[in-house]
Amino acid sequence: MEVVWKIGVVFSLVALAATGCEPATAAKRPASKERRAKTSERPPAPVAVSKASKGSIASAYVTTATLEPQKTAPVLARVTGVVEKIAREEGDMVKAGAPLLRIESTQYRLRVEQLAARTAQLRDSYKRLSKMVSQNLVGAEEFEQTKHDLEAAKAEEKLARLELSFTTVRAPFTGRVTQRMVEVGHTVNDTTSLFELADLKPLLARVFVPSKAFKRLARNQPVELTLDSNAVKLTGYIKLVSPVIDPTSGTIKVTLEIPDYPEGTRPGDFAHVRITTEQHDDALLIPRIAIVQDRQQQVVYVVVDGRAQRRVVEIGFEQEDKAEILNGLAVDEAVVIKGQNSLKDGAAVKVLEADA
């Protein structure tokens, strides 16, 4: 009997333990689910935002060009002789009429003196015969011949003086000496190139613009240029527009004028050219960096009530770091510009930086 009683007690304790534990386990389940729900949600993603705003933006035709002098010309010798002195060197700026080089001039001076003496002699003879012909002391034929000889002598003297002046070679226009081709002691003639001279104020650039963009171009329109060598930005203006379209390329030649540029800018510099073809003045603008390519769509993320909202947008003009939004966004909405690449629609975000 004692054994049976002990076994009954054991069964009673087991049943009691089982009965007592069941409510406690059931009470703990909801708390466990709540903890799992909290731990499954990621912490807010840190982002930076910028508000969509109204402003101006333009489309542009971008190309490249080489800077050229406004004009360039070889300076030739105009008489034959030996180079006696070189007055200017490559790189020198010269004004119109400034001496560049001198050719040995002794024979030309002697020629002028010879002809000047002959002219003086004939002038005296003409004066004397003028008095005599009025007194019928000399024939009219002799007088007329002396008159013609005097005129011829004057012309020959003028020509000799002109050739003498050519022994000093002068700059035909204001510019910079870009090349010197002769040395002291060289014999030159009237076909010898002595210098290359270039007019560098202003500089020019020639670009070829598609004909479809031509209707939006106008003379004196500003143009942006950026030098390839040092990234210096220059401002040019449309000076000339060709009246014909190249049938091969369908382009129109446009000549740009660059009136001002920093020291050290030279013809031959390579430049990137940006010509504005159309402008929108009341466009909705956001930073270009906010746009994400997602499944062949242009997407931005907008912060709404602490969460990222995915928006498919339509892009218009793009200019430097700005983009025009045609559809999908409203003014003053905060678009994510940092941290957007890892966002998902509906994700919690924390704005750490806002660009007004």
Tell me whether residue 39 is in a domain.
Answer: no
pLDDT score of 135: 67
Q: Which domain holds residue 162?
A: 105-166
DSSP character at residue 223: E
For the question of whether the overall pTM of this predicted structure is more than 0.75, the answer is no
Q: Tell me the CATH number at 113.
A: 1.10.287
Q: Which of 259, 280, 301 is the last residue of a domain?
A: 280
Q: What is the pLDDT of residues 13-33, one digit of tens each?
A: 434 444 444 444 444 445 455
| Least confident among 73-77, 129-133, 136-140 | 136-140
**pLDDT of amino acid 90:** 93
Q: Output 37-40 pairs: Cβ under 8 A, ≥24 positions apart.
A: none
**Residue 73 resides in a domain:** no
Higher pLDDT, 95 or 20: 95
Token couple for 294: 């997602």
C-beta separation of 274 from 223 below 8 A: yes
What are φ and ψ of residue 335, in 5° steps?
-100, 145
List the CATH number of the domain containing 268.
2.40.30.170
For the chain, count helices (H), then strands (E): 3, 20
Q: What amino acid is encoded at 252 in this protein?
A: I
* Residues 135 and 206 placed together within one structural domain of the fold: no
Tens digits of per-residue pLDDT, 191-248?
899 999 999 889 999 999 888 776 677 889 999 999 998 899 999 999 998 888 888 8
User: 297 to each of 196, 304, 340, how far by Cα in Å?
Assistant: 57, 21, 15
Residue 60 corresponds to which tokens in the numbers above?
């542009």
pLDDT at 132: 81
pLDDT value for 27: 44
Residue 278 confidence (pLDDT): 83
Same domain, 205 and 239: yes
The closest alpha carbon to 57, from 284, 332, 298, 235, belongs to 284
Mean pLDDT (the chain, rounded): 86
Q: Across the strands, what pairs with 103?
A: 83
The mean per-residue pLDDT over the stretch 104-117 comes to 95
pLDDT number for residue 20 = 46
DSSP 34: H
Number of domains making up the chain: 3
Task: Based on the fold, state whether residues 206 and 271 are members of the same structural domain.
Answer: yes
- Provide the pLDDT for residue 116: 94
